[in-house]
Structure 1
Amino acid sequence: MTRSVRIAVQLQPQHAEYSQIRDAVLRAEDMGVDVIFNWDHFFPLYGDPEGKHFECWTMLGAWAEQTERVEIGALVTCNSYRNPELLADMARTVDHISGGRLILGIGAGWFEKDYDQFGYEFGTAGSRIADLAAALPRIKDRLAKGNPAPTREIPIMVGGGGEKKTLRIVAEHADIWHSFGDIETLTRKSGILDEHGAEVGRDTATLVERSVGTHGSPEESGDALVAAGATLLTIGVGGPDYDLSLLKEWIDWRDSRA
């Protein structure tokens, strides 16, 4: 399968008023970005740890109404924070509000402060990954039972890079795999993902899109990321100003490849 290169932006919902986030969404869509992500945390990850912050899925419902063309989603939802059936129904609802533009990004969770402050059991990395493995079939089952049904088969994006367990979950369930790491890491773990795919009977080389975050200019890494198999490239942008100048460079680079 030959995939088009897509550019995404993660608008980090921290250190900003919601009006500033909303404005950034408008600017990013008008600029021509393909996907707009937020993240699923309850406190800032950078800067003042007690700074302004907003909740992920409430925001996605607003983005679904605000936008017209872009896909939207969380990079990524923390599996621990919501019952799998509830999350599935939230996703189905946002899918309908957006007219079929939701990506259901999900991961095992890692930010201990969120767990502690909101009363979730942090457990261990192993228990959280096991919970994710158990949740995904339940999410898919609930999506299949929804009335009305989702407008499309909602793409599931799994974020994480654990070679033995997380990549096995990706091979079994994901349409998109988000890798955290450099090009060498992406290349090596992409090969491991395909090994898991062969074991579970899925052709992950063609069925699972590779997604990765990027930090520099497209001239520095764009072609190398695509050569490594990544076709969904995400630029992270923080508040309060949401400077989209680097995003514009990546969008122009995408268009120059057409």
Structure 2
Amino acid sequence: MNDSVRIAVQLQPQHADYGQIRDAVRRAEDLGVDAAFNWDHFFPLFGDPDGKHFECWTMLGAWAEQTSRIELGALVSCNSYRNPDLLADMARTVDHISGGRLILGIGAGWFEKDYQQFGYEFGTAGSRIADLGAALPRIRRRLEAGNPAPVRPVPIMIGGGGERKTLRLVAEHADIWHGFGDAETIARKSAILDEHGRAVGRDTTGVVRSAGVDAPPDEVADGMLAAGVSLFTIGVSGPDYDLSLVEQWVQWRDRQEPTSDKGLTA
């Protein structure tokens, strides 16, 4: 496992004009974050449900041009919204625009309003996870077939915590697992992930553990570190994109052992 502690920000593309989002990306990179994520939805997840909102992947292309150092991606793309081969080629393109800084985050999808309003079949949780399982090998193959090839092997991050199906997909396919919950929950599910790894013949101790945090580091960092988390993501919403908590985490990171300047899965 890459033991370097890294800090990411999820700039939630809601309740803001794009200029405010662009400014937040600039401020986040200047602050010293290691990665910036958005999310893949079509409507706000909280606040005014009909408030301002922007699409994920066109935004990532703009971020790739705007930034020069940080890694970037979606936390996470919804597998249901795009043909897997198309998504892979979009990822390859953004990887080149960014000079090899893309993380391909993906999940099974869950926000029913997106599906209803944009005409996607919602199905069931089981069918969406099955679709994700079928898509992941196609994504890998399409990435490998692209000309030119990606700048680097594009790391795949799977978000979700389903213990029987989702974590098995993580064990089979992911470079990064983004889990949800407190340190105790992350630790328990991380152990289940390793069980799946043994079942599929893969050493999953090399899968980077990622989690969201919404409290200062002196309150939660030690527990999360003990649970194996090395990528900490702070979510912020528009219109103001207050990065004060992000700054606390960056300062905490800088007080840890010196870290490599390589990417999350280098």
**SS, match of residue 178 in structure 2:** strand
Counterpart AA for 1:233: F
Tell me: CA distance 1:2–1:71, structure 2 relative to 1, closer, same or farther (3 Å).
closer
Cα distance between partner residues in 2 of 1:135 and 1:122: 16
Counterpart AA for 1:218: P
Normalised TM-score (structure 2): 0.96
Residue aligning to 2:103? 103
Cα distance between partner residues in 2 of 1:88 and 1:229: 29
Taking every aligned residue pair, what percent have the same amino acid on both sides?
A: 77
Residue aligning to 1:92? 92
Cα distance between partner residues in 1 of 2:256 and 2:165: 36
Residue aligning to 1:224? 223
Residue aligning to 1:30? 30
Following superposition of structure 1 onto structure 2, how do residues 81-160 of structure 1 map, counting pairs within 5 Å? 81-160=81-160
CA contact (8 A) 2:36 2:73 kept: yes
Deviations 1:181-236 (A, max 9, x none): 1111101000000000001011001x200000001000001121111100000000
Cα distance between partner residues in 2 of 1:35 and 1:53: 21
Cα distance between partner residues in 1 of 2:229 and 2:117: 36
CA contact (8 A) 2:2 2:208 kept: no
Normalised TM-score (structure 1): 0.99
Tell me: CA distance 1:4–1:97, structure 2 relative to 1, closer, same or farther (3 Å).
same
Following superposition of structure 1 onto structure 2, how do residues 167-206 of structure 1 map, counting pairs within 5 Å? 167-205=167-205
Tell me: CA distance 1:224–1:137, structure 2 relative to 1, closer, same or farther (3 Å).
same
Residue aligning to 2:250? 251
Cα distance between partner residues in 2 of 1:126 and 1:242: 35
**SS, match of residue 54 in structure 2:** coil
CA contact (8 A) 2:99 2:151 kept: yes
Cα distance between partner residues in 2 of 1:254 and 1:223: 12
Cα distance between partner residues in 1 of 2:194 and 2:13: 34
Deviations 1:8-61 (A, max 9, x none): 000000000000000000000000000000000000001000000000000000
Query: Which ranges of structure 2 fall in alignment gaps of 5 or more residues?
Result: 258-266
Tell me: CA distance 1:155–1:33, structure 2 relative to 1, closer, same or farther (3 Å).
same
Deviation at 1:82, TM superposition (A): 0.1
**SS, match of residue 50 in structure 1:** coil
CA contact (8 A) 2:217 2:248 kept: yes
Residue aligning to 2:210? 211
- The answer on 1:21 being equivalent to 2:51 is no
Cα distance between partner residues in 2 of 1:213 and 1:27: 20
Deviations 1:61-85 (A, max 9, x none): 0000000000000000000000000
- The answer on 1:51 being equivalent to 2:51 is yes
Q: Which runs of 4+ in 1 moved over 2 A?
A: none
**SS, match of residue 135 in structure 2:** helix
Counterpart AA for 1:215: D
Query: Which ranges of structure 1 fall in alignment gaps of 5 or more residues?
Result: none
Cα distance between partner residues in 1 of 2:176 and 2:230: 10
Counterpart AA for 2:245: L
Deviation at 1:2, TM superposition (A): 4.6
Counterpart AA for 1:7: I
Counterpart AA for 1:244: L
- The answer on 1:233 being equivalent to 2:235 is no
Residue aligning to 2:164? 164
Deviations 1:64-110 (A, max 9, x none): 00000000000000000000000000000000000000000000000
Counterpart AA for 1:64: A
Tell me: CA distance 1:54–1:2, structure 2 relative to 1, closer, same or farther (3 Å).
closer
Counterpart AA for 1:208: V
